[in-house]
Amino acid sequence: MTKENINILKKGGIGMVLTDTIYGILGSALNPKTVERVYEVKGRDKNKPLIILISQLSDLGLFDIKLMPGLKKILSKYWPGKVSIILPCSSQKFEYLHRGQNSLAFRFPKDKRLVDILKQTGPLVAPSANSQGAKPAESIEEAREYFGEKVNFYEEGKFKESKPSTLIKIVGDRVEILRN
C-alpha cells in the first residue's frame, strides 16, 4: 500500500483494499467518526457490528479484551488465518463498534502485506466491499461501480477467488461456527 493511502487511513479516511479474503472497505477501528462513515458508505444495518483486523494478539488490549491463558490457547488454533472470532466486549467506550451487542469480531490475518499495513495504521474495520445484500466486489472496477467517489482511495490487489472469512464465536470454552 502506498504511504499516501496509509496516511489517509491514519487520518480517518476510508479505502477499498483487498484483504486476506475479499475486497473490503477499510477504516480506523479506533476512530468513531470513521466507523460511522463506513456504515453510511456501505449502507450497513447500524445494529450489525463490523469485523476488525488486527496485526497481533496484543491489539485486543486496545479494545479492553483480556488475553487469559485459555482464550490465548483457543485463538492460537485459528490465528493467524482467515477466521474472524467474536469475543465479548461490553465496554461502553466501544459502543460505536459493538452496537449494543457487547461483542466484537476480530481477525488476525496471515497475509504479510495486510499485517504490514495494520502495523502502520492500527486496527481497521473491514466489512466486505458491497452494499448490504449485494455480492462482494471481486475487482476494483466492481468496487468503483458500488461506491464511486464515496471512498478516499482504491488500492488494486491480485484477487484470487475467495470467500468471506469463517466466523466463529467463543462462548466460555466452546466454539460455535456461525459462518463457514
For residue 136, cis peptide bond before it (omega within 30 degrees of 0): no
Separation CA 168–CA 180 (nearest Å):
8
Domains and CATH numbers, the chain: 3-179 (3.90.870.10)
Which helix (H) or strand (E) covers residue 106, if one does? strand 103-107
pLDDT at 162 over 70: no
Q: How many CA atoms lie within 13 A of 26 on its CB side?
A: 29
In this structure, what are the phi and psi dihedrals at residue 94, rounded to the nearest 5 degrees? -110, 20
- Residue 103: is its pLDDT beyond 80? yes
The pTM of the full predicted model, rounded to 2 decimals, is: 0.93
State how far Cα 2 lies from the chain centre: 19
176 membership: H or E segment, kind and range? strand 174-179
- What is the grid cell recorded at 156? 488494486
Quickly tell me which residue has 482504491 as its cell: 154
- The helix (H) or strand (E) run that includes residue 83 is strand 83-88
Contact between residue 20 and residue 160 where contact means Cβ atoms under 8 Å apart = no
HSE of 151, CA atoms in CB hemisphere, 13 A: 27
Report pLDDT digits (tens) over 47-56: 999 999 999 9
Q: What would the mean pLDDT of 119-129 be, rounded to a whole number?
A: 96
Convert the pLDDT of each residue in 16-49 to its tens digit. 999 988 899 999 999 999 999 999 999 999 999 9
The CA distance from 137 to 104, in Å, is 24
